[in-house]
Amino acid sequence: MYAQLIKSEGMKSREEMSQEEIAFQERVDRGEKIEPKEWMPEGYRKTLIRQIGQHAHSEIVGQLPEGNWITRAPTLERKAILLAKVQDEAGHGLYLYSAAETLGVSRDELLEKLHSGEMKYSSIFNYPTLNWADMGAVGWLVDGAAIMNQVPLQRTSYGPYSRAMIRICKEESFHQRQGYAVMMKMAFGTPEQKEMAQDALNRFWFPALMMFGPSDKDSVHSAQSMAWKIKINTNDELRQKFVNETVPQAEYLGLTIPDENLVWNEEKQGYDFSEPDWSEFFEVIKGNGPCNRERLGARVKAWTDGAWFRDGLSAYAEKAAARRAAIVAAE
């Protein structure tokens, strides 16, 4: 186990495991995929439902900050690209809800838990998108961080999740590039445009670093999730990788990362950087970020407003089933 990681609650040593649990762990250790109908420890199932469910919620809530700019995109081309990107995020959410459903939870249950605040979604989507440069920063940094986290998840031990990640990562990488393309346009544009790009970077840098989760010494789930290969890397490992890859991209744009302590460390072959403000992070995930209420309010409203449509679909499905049953009975 990584020196920094704390023991997850309920995590068993090999001596404490049942024969079934040992056999399961050995399958995971060999790199075998676990499939829906196979035996799995209850904790493994619950952890997957939590992580995949929260991931799905993030994709769905994550449409809101960018959806906000579709009607105000500066050109028709940018509008079409942004529309396609936001639509992709909806697809990712639905894909991930389906993966979660294979674990015996219904989509309605997951949504109920999102709406009641019992389940989380990524902290990043509780920050506002104030101007067009933010669309660049979201694509570049938010999708960039999402990919850094999700590429290793293609090798996660649960089959449906790992397969979902393969397609999602392909699309996320297009999203990251479109964000960087917006940043290039802004950073190489007029002085005012460059200023907007710098301002967006200033506001999104630390929230993007928070996407990887708390530091390893505070990450309650990492030890168990890594043993089960639900997670492949620690939060700090991925954050470091993200910083190492993103700094040269900012340099190319001629923008400054808003961190006075950012410096290349020859010995570790990576950058030293300031920790995000963890008290802000914990406030945001408790529901007290700048846009938490607005985001959740928008989701609950969409769910309530859509009730008539869901009712209509169910009524149609029931009538169709009754008609089919009547035809079978008459034959």
Q: Give the footprint of ligand FAQ on this chain (CB under 6 A).
A: 50-51, 54-55, 58-59, 62, 89, 120, 122-123, 138, 142-143, 146, 149, 210-214, 219-222, 225, 231, 235, 285
> For ligand FAQ, which is the closer residue by CB, 11 or 220?
220
Count of C-beta atoms within a 10 Å radius of residue 124? 23
> For ligand FAQ, which is the closer residue by CB, 162 or 189?
162
Q: How far is the CB of 57 from ligand FAQ (least distance, A)?
A: 8
Q: How far is the CB of 182 from ligand FAQ (least distance, A)?
A: 13
> For ligand FAQ, which is the closer residue by CB, 189 or 227?
227
Q: How far is the CB of 316 from ligand FAQ (least distance, A)?
A: 32
The span from the CA of 326 to the CA of 312, in Å, is 21
The closest residue (CB) to ligand FAQ is 62
The span from the CA of 242 to the CA of 34, in Å, is 29
> For ligand FAQ, which is the closer residue by CB, 55 or 250?
55
> For ligand FAQ, which is the closer residue by CB, 228 or 273?
228
Q: How far is the CB of 185 from ligand FAQ (least distance, A)?
A: 19
Chain-centroid distance of CA 300 in Å reads 20
> For ligand FAQ, which is the closer residue by CB, 82 or 196?
82
Q: How far is the CB of 187 from ligand FAQ (least distance, A)?
A: 20
| H-run or E-run covering 263 | strand 263-265
Q: How far is the CB of 59 from ligand FAQ (least distance, A)?
A: 5
Q: Closest Cα to residue 40, out of 27, 57, 52?
A: 27
Do residues 179 and 249 lie in contact, with contact meaning Cβ atoms separated by under 8 Å? no
Reading the block at residue 219, the tokens are: 């990450």
Category of 73 on φ-ψ map: left (φ > 0), alpha (ψ -120 to 50) or beta: beta
Q: Which stretches within 125-221 are classed as H helix?
A: 132-137, 144-153, 159-187, 191-210
Give residue 106's identity as a one-letter amino acid code. Answer: S
